[in-house]
């Protein structure tokens, strides 16, 4: 879907923001860029829709160079959600959401129906919210509108640049849950920038950790937690408060839940993004903070079970009764 081939961005002769990165972002993937301030993650995101021009290398979308697309059509077909929500204050919520569909010359009935569908999708009553102005909404409600505005013209790619970082912790967690649930429905390709490792682990199918304009490790949350590529990755993970809890020791794996018969059989439709039986239990706990149940796959990648928060709580209660874990 999106391919970076030896992409570099130099702002000046002595300042390289992104240095020779190559990677593939898959169709329908929730892909997260993360790293310390100044590592190049936002520059990398903004090069996808040509908000920032690259210096050397090539970015492809569906095997076509982004430079070969008409810039307006490119941006109309890529949704964009900012930290600064950037709703137009003089427009109603419906008018804000309708901007790109109107530019694409959708008819009014189709736009009206789309606004209704999107507001319902994020739990905002269309009859209450469509005629309101942004100042009448809370920060969390405004950010929901920012997300659905990016979805309005049904783009295949959504770029999200630290979209929740300005929100209070409760609103932020709710928006994370909402976007996770939304992605399971809409299955867009989402490229997401954050500085929060917990957010990256909760949302990402893969995480790309950057340092000084280069990719340090690009892998699944599971592999980054279990197999950090170097000391920088290990320290970054720990600085995000993801270090192992004394009860959720790395000695405990998802397999132990199955061994204790704390699961339900997997059925078709129970979910697609699975956790491996070999994963540490803490990874499963982080997923269950955002989902009611999580599918489990065996070492061959076959879906074999689903587990819930109640299954995990029963397992942990048993561990506490035994003294907190293995010796």
At residue 319, the pLDDT reads 76
At residue 233, the pLDDT reads 92
Of 240 and 189, more confident? 189
pLDDT band at 326 (very low <50, low <70, confident <90, very high): very low
Q: What span, in angstroms and rounded, lies between the C-alpha atoms of 32 and 201?
A: 9
Residues 6+ apart with CB under 8 A from 151: 79, 118, 158, 186, 188
At residue 325, the pLDDT reads 47
Q: What span, in angstroms and rounded, lies between the C-alpha atoms of 141 and 299?
A: 41
CA dihedral of residues 257, 261, 266, 270 (deg, nearest 10): -60
Closest by Cα among 247, 211, 245, 209 to 228: 209
Beta strands in 123-282 (DSSP E): 157-161, 189-194, 206-211, 214-219, 264-265, 275-276
At residue 323, the pLDDT reads 60
pLDDT band at 242 (very low <50, low <70, confident <90, very high): low
What domains, with CATH codes, occur in the chain? Answer: 2-239 (3.40.50.300), 254-321 (3.10.580.10)
**Could you report the per-residue pLDDT of 176-205, keeping only the tens digit for each?**
878 888 888 888 999 999 988 888 888 899
pLDDT band at 246 (very low <50, low <70, confident <90, very high): very low
What is the 8-class DSSP label of residue 49? T
**Could you report the per-residue pLDDT of 140-172, keeping only the tens digit for each?**
899 889 999 999 998 999 999 998 887 887 778
70-83 average pLDDT score: 89
**Could you report the per-residue pLDDT of 264-322, keeping only the tens digit for each?**
999 887 777 788 888 888 788 878 877 788 899 988 888 999 999 889 888 887 877 77
Residue 232, number of CB atoms within 10 A of its CB: 16
Q: What span, in angstroms and rounded, lies between the C-alpha atoms of 172 and 69?
A: 35
Residue 247 tokens, joined:
């009860």
């Amino acid at each position: 879907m999106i391919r970076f081939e030896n992409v570099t961005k130099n702002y000046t002769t002595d300042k390289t923001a992104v240095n020779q990165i190559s990677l593939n972002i898959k169709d329908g993937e929730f892909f997260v860029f993360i790293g310390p301030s100044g590592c190049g993650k936002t520059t990398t995101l903004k090069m996808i829709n040509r908000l920032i021009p690259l210096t050397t290398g090539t970015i492809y979308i569906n095997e076509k160079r982004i430079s070969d697309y008409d810039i307006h059509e490119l941006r109309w077909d890529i949704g964009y959600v900012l930290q600064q929500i950037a709703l137009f204050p003089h427009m109603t919520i419906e008018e804000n959401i309708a901007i790109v569909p109107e530019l694409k010359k959708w008819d009014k009935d189709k736009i009206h129906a789309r606004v209704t569908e999107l507001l319902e999708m994020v739990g905002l009553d269309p009859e209450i919210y469509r005629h309101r102005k942004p100042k009448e909404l809370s920060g969390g409600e405004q950010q929901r509108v920012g997300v659905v505005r990016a979805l309005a013209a049904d783009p295949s790619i959504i770029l999200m640049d630290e979209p929740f970082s300005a929100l209070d912790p409760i609103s932020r967690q709710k928006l994370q849950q909402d976007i996770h649930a939304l992605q399971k429905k809409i299955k867009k390709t989402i490229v997401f920038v954050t500085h929060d490792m917990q957010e990256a682990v909760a949302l990402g199918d893969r995480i790309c950790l950057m340092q000084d304009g280069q990719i340090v490790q690009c892998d699944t949350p599971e592999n980054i937690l279990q197999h950090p590529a170097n000391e920088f990755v290990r320290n970054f993970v720990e600085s995000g408060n993801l270090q192992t809890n004394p009860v959720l020791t790395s000695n405990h794996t998802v397999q132990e839940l199955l061994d204790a018969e704390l699961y339900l059989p997997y059925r078709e439709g129970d979910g697609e993004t699975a956790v491996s039986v070999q994963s540490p239990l803490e990874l499963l706990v982080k997923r269950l903070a955002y989902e009611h149940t999580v599918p489990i796959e065996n070492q061959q990648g076959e879906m074999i079970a689903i587990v819930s928060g109640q299954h995990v709580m029963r397992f942990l209660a048993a561990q506490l009764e035994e003294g907190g874990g293995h010796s």
